[in-house]
């Protein structure tokens, strides 16, 4: 059989292009089925409708490949779920995996084959990483990425040239590896924008949906974030990315086979600086003036960021870091604050304590909060002596504080995960009232994480993608090739600030470091980057697929070294700031650049403008 064929005809079928040696990488369990399947990639016309198709070698004689992401019943292909995530199953990012993604319009044959009408193709991404495998990731207009296609024998250039006969492939100025697909008909262009709706599930509690169907929930939203960003893409004929007007359908200029050009978006990073940690803050009175005001709050924060706080001082210093006491308050003022806050707390507590059982039966919202709190309290940090055993007073305090928070914040109420945030506060303060008001201060920082819309979580995952792409495009390519470019496995990290990843003792240090908001408010994203980079050798250097990547990340819990992670995160921050051409999107994540009101009205993305203003402390030079 020839390696490729062009222009074969049938009654209702026309083969335009065919290439052998294109491997589809699945996520099926290795013991049941190969994860790398050799096959053919084709461009065909069926009744005049062009489509991109792939089928395995075993189906070489068939002309109707069709179904995406599904298997015949009873044929295996189930995912490996027999692993211990190290914590309660309903907090696992993946606990049960099913092949139930919503397919694009296809005919069913029960194979890994797919047939995608070119009108449904939204984008394609081409890349190469150090293992030497070249691949394409296709995404449909529904936001669903197809399994990566690896070209072991070349042919991607010819494929894209043939595709350009039917659609316009417009190279993104943000990422030279990404091409957006547009119809050749210019009148249809207006219908092509914003087809990839990121996280458009809307209205449901994403956290609770993890419990019932983690796989579908995760990929219902997060699979649409495939390492490119809607606000960083431009339509064809953009003045910043002009197309040849003499030949608007001309194919993009692609590098010769074999291999692709490795593009790093123009970010050239220098070496990571060496970072050292300091001693914990072990003196407090020296920072207070005679009336009790903190003389130099910024110096206190710097010391806490560098080394944390000695355990004997935590109870006092945490109340300043979390806003219970103002930094400039005197001893007498703090006594008055405590008195007023105590009265306010118990007034709110009495609101729910005075509700009778009969009243609660008619209050489904309060009843729901109570049931969820009781369930979560009974499994929160039970290994800690403060919360272990039955009839533990620590559990009663945990329950009462969370119920009272529902009275304090009616709009948010209680969301799973908030018990994880409270337990260290209660452990350190050993006081119901103080732990409550410290919780309110903590929630001021993270309450957006728990809101029903999940907009803050979506934004943080996008920002994490921005940072990782600038830091390690090779790792991004690898994750993309294994259908993991969404970084969905970082969801729990960001939701509850790594509470399940580190030991209880380490979390006390980590949180007080992050509460300083140094060196930037998004330091938690840099911590996530440091963890991912620390695992790059294990990820890229092993035969990982989608499931084993998630399994590996989940199994990191309680195995990470906090101090090396903090050093790595700070080193990443300094490394990025030392870059002379740091894109504005990265600077914004780091807090080094705040868009002006005029620039916020400009729809042109920062990456695309090429504007790379210097971070604080760096000169911009003379225009």
229-to-178, 463, 466 alpha-carbon distances in Å: 11, 10, 9
Interval 440-462 mean pLDDT: 93
Rounded CA-CA distance 91/105 in Å is 33
Interval 542-552 mean pLDDT: 83
pLDDT over 80 (residue 172): no
pLDDT over 60 (residue 100): no
411-to-392, 408, 453 alpha-carbon distances in Å: 30, 9, 13
- Sequence ranges of the chain with CATH classification 1.10.8.270: 311-448
Residue from 370, 367, 394 nearest 380 by CA:
394
Interval 415-434 mean pLDDT: 96
Rounded CA-CA distance 593/197 in Å is 27
What pLDDT, on the 0 to 100 scale, is given for residue 140?
82
Interval 214-240 mean pLDDT: 36
Confidence class for position 7, pLDDT limits 50, 70, 90: low
What pLDDT, on the 0 to 100 scale, is given for residue 5?
54
The residue behind tokens 């495998």 is 133
What pLDDT, on the 0 to 100 scale, is given for residue 160?
85
Three-class secondary structure assignment of 137-170:
EEEECCCCECCCEEECCCCHHHHHHHHCCCEEEE
Q: pTM to 2 decimals?
A: 0.62
Q: Residue 393 has which token pair?
A: 């007073």
The overall average pLDDT reported for the chain is 76
Please state which of the ranges 18-32, 78-92, 268-282, 555-569 shows the lowest mean pLDDT.
78-92
Long-range CB contacts for residues 572-575, cutoff 8 Å, separation at least 24: 572/272, 572/467, 572/471, 572/526, 572/529, 572/530, 572/533, 573/519, 573/520, 573/523, 573/526, 574/272, 574/273, 574/275, 575/269, 575/270, 575/271, 575/272, 575/273, 575/471
What pLDDT, on the 0 to 100 scale, is given for residue 220?
38
Q: What is the pLDDT of residues 24-35, one digit of tens each?
A: 877 544 444 556
pLDDT over 80 (residue 217): no
Q: What CATH topology corresponds to 197-229+267-310+453-591?
A: Cyclin A; domain 1 (1.10.472)
Rounded CA-CA distance 221/23 in Å is 27
Rounded CA-CA distance 219/298 in Å is 42
Q: What is the pLDDT of residues 468-524, one digit of tens each?
A: 999 999 998 888 888 788 888 899 999 999 999 999 999 999 999 999 999 999 999
pLDDT over 60 (residue 22): yes
pLDDT over 90 (residue 278): yes
Rounded CA-CA distance 324/202 in Å is 34
Please state which of the ranges 184-188, 404-408, 615-619 shows the lowest mean pLDDT.
615-619
- Sequence ranges of the chain with CATH classification 1.10.472.80: 197-229+267-310+453-591
Rounded CA-CA distance 109/68 in Å is 10
At residue 110, the 3 state secondary structure works out as coil
167-to-34, 119, 187 alpha-carbon distances in Å: 33, 8, 13
What pLDDT, on the 0 to 100 scale, is given for residue 562?
98
Q: What is the pLDDT of residues 239-248, one digit of tens each?
A: 333 344 334 4
Confidence class for position 544, pLDDT limits 50, 70, 90: confident
- Sequence ranges of the chain with CATH classification 2.30.29.230: 12-57+111-194
Residues paired with residue 114 on neighbouring β-strands, in sequence order: 54
Interval 55-75 mean pLDDT: 46
What pLDDT, on the 0 to 100 scale, is given for residue 125?
80
pLDDT over 50 (residue 56): yes
pLDDT over 70 (residue 59): no
At residue 7, the 3 state secondary structure works out as strand
Rounded CA-CA distance 190/181 in Å is 13
Residue from 308, 241, 246 nearest 278 by CA:
308
At residue 121, the 3 state secondary structure works out as strand
What pLDDT, on the 0 to 100 scale, is given for residue 174?
56
Beta strands in 47-156 (DSSP E): 49-56, 114-117, 121-128, 134-140, 149-151
Residue 314: HSE in the Cβ half-sphere, 13 Å Cα cutoff: 25
Mark residue 386 as left, alpha or beta (left: phi above 0; alpha: psi -120 to 50; beta: remaining): alpha
Residues paired with residue 4 on neighbouring β-strands, in sequence order: 19
Higher pLDDT, 144 or 155: 155
Contact 402, 416 (CB under 8 A): no
Rounded CA-CA distance 139/590 in Å is 30
What pLDDT, on the 0 to 100 scale, is given for residue 107?
39
What pLDDT, on the 0 to 100 scale, is given for residue 159?
87
Confidence class for position 13, pLDDT limits 50, 70, 90: confident
Residue from 423, 576, 590, 577 nearest 518 by CA:
590
Q: Is the alpha carbon torsion for 60, 64, 69, 73 positive or negative?
A: negative
Interval 248-273 mean pLDDT: 53
What pLDDT, on the 0 to 100 scale, is given for residue 82?
35
Q: Residue 95 has which token pair?
A: 């606990």
Most confident of 122-126, 161-165, 212-216: 161-165
Q: The domain 311-448: what is its CATH number?
A: 1.10.8.270
Percentage of the chain exceeding pLDDT 90: 45
pLDDT over 70 (residue 203): no
pLDDT over 90 (residue 447): yes
What pLDDT, on the 0 to 100 scale, is given for residue 27?
58
What pLDDT, on the 0 to 100 scale, is given for residue 311?
97
Q: The domain 12-57+111-194: what is its CATH number?
A: 2.30.29.230
pLDDT over 60 (residue 183): yes
Q: Residue 519 has which token pair?
A: 């060196």
Written as one string, the DSSP assignment of 398-430 is: HHHHHHHHHHH-TTT---TTHHHHHHHHHHHH-
Higher pLDDT, 345 or 214: 345
Task: Judge if the upstream peptide bond of residue 519 is cis by omega within 30 degrees of 0.
Answer: yes
pLDDT over 60 (residue 383): yes
Rounded to an integer, what is the distance from CA 291 to the centroid of its chain? Answer: 46
Higher pLDDT, 105 or 160: 160
Please state which of the ranges 122-136, 204-218, 590-604 shows the lowest mean pLDDT.
204-218
Higher pLDDT, 267 or 486: 486
Q: Residue 61 has which token pair?
A: 């004689």
């Amino acid at each position: 059989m020839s390696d490729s064929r062009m222009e074969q005809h049938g009654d209702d079928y026309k083969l335009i292009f065919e290439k052998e040696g294109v491997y589809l990488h699945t996520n099926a369990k290795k013991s049941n089925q190969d994860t790398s399947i050799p096959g053919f990639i084709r461009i065909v016309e069926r009744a005049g409708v062009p489509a991109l198709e792939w089928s395995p070698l075993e189906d070489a004689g068939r002309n109707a490949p069709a179904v995406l992401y599904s298997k015949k019943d009873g044929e295996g292909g189930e995912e490996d779920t027999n692993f211990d995530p190290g914590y309660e199953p309903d907090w696992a990012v993946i606990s049960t995996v099913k092949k139930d993604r919503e397919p694009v319009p296809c005919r069913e044959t029960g194979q890994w084959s797919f047939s995608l009408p070119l009108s449904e193709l939204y984008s394609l991404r081409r890349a190469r990483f150090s293992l030497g495998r070249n691949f394409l990731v296709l995404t449909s207009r529904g936001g669903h990425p197809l399994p990566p296609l690896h070209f072991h024998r070349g042919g991607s250039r010819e494929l894209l040239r043939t595709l350009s006969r039917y659609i316009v492939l417009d190279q993104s100025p943000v990422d030279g590896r990404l091409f957006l697909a547009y119809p050749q008909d210019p009148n249809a262009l207006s219908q092509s924008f914003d087809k990839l709706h990121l996280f458009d599930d809307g209205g449901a509690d994403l956290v609770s949906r993890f419990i019932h169907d983690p796989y579908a929930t995760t990929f219902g939203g997060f699979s649409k974030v495939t390492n490119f960003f809607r606000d960083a893409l431009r339509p064809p004929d953009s003045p910043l990315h002009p197309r040849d007007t003499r030949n608007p359908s001309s194919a993009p200029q692609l590098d010769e086979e074999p291999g692709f050009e490795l593009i790093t978006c123009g970010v050239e990073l220098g070496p990571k600086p060496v970072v050292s940690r300091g001693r914990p803050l072990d003196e407090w009175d020296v920072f207070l003036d005679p009336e009790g005001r903190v003389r130099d709050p910024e110096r206190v924060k710097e010391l806490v960021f560098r080394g944390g706080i000695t355990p004997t001082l935590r109870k006092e210093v945490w109340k300043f870091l979390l806003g219970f006491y103002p930094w400039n308050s005197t001893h007498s003022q703090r006594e008055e604050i405590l008195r007023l806050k105590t009265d306010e707390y118990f007034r709110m507590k009495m609101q729910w304590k005075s509700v009778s059982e009969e009243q609660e039966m008619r209050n489904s919202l309060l009843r729901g909060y109570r049931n969820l709190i009781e369930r979560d309290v009974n499994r929160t940090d039970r290994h800690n002596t403060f919360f272990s055993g039955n009839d533990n007073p620590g559990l009663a305090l945990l329950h009462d504080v969370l119920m009272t928070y529902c009275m304090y914040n009616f709009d948010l109420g209680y969301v799973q995960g908030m018990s994880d945030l409270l337990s260290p506060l209660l452990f350190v303060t050993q006081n119901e009232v103080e732990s409550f008001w410290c919780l309110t201060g903590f929630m001021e920082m993270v309450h957006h994480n728990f809101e029903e819309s999940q907009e803050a979580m979506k934004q943080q995952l996008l920002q994490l993608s921005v940072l990782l792409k600038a830091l390690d495009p090779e790792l991004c390519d690898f994750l993309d090739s294994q259908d993991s470019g969404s970084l969905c496995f970082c969801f729990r990290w960001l939701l509850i600030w790594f509470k399940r990843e580190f030991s209880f003792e380490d979390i006390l240090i980590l949180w007080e470091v992050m509460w300083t908001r140094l060196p930037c408010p998004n330091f938690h994203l840099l911590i996530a980057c440091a963890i991912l980079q620390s695992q790059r050798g294990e990820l890229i250097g092993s035969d990982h697929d989608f499931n084993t990547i998630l399994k590996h990340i989940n199994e990191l819990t309680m195995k990470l070294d906090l101090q090396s992670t903090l050093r790595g995160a700070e080193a990443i921050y300094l490394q990025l700031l030392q870059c002379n051409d740091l894109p504005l999107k990265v600077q914004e994540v780091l807090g080094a650049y705040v868009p002006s009101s005029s620039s916020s009205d400009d729809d042109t993305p920062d990456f695309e403008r090429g504007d790379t203003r210097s971070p604080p402390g760096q000169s911009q030079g003379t225009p």
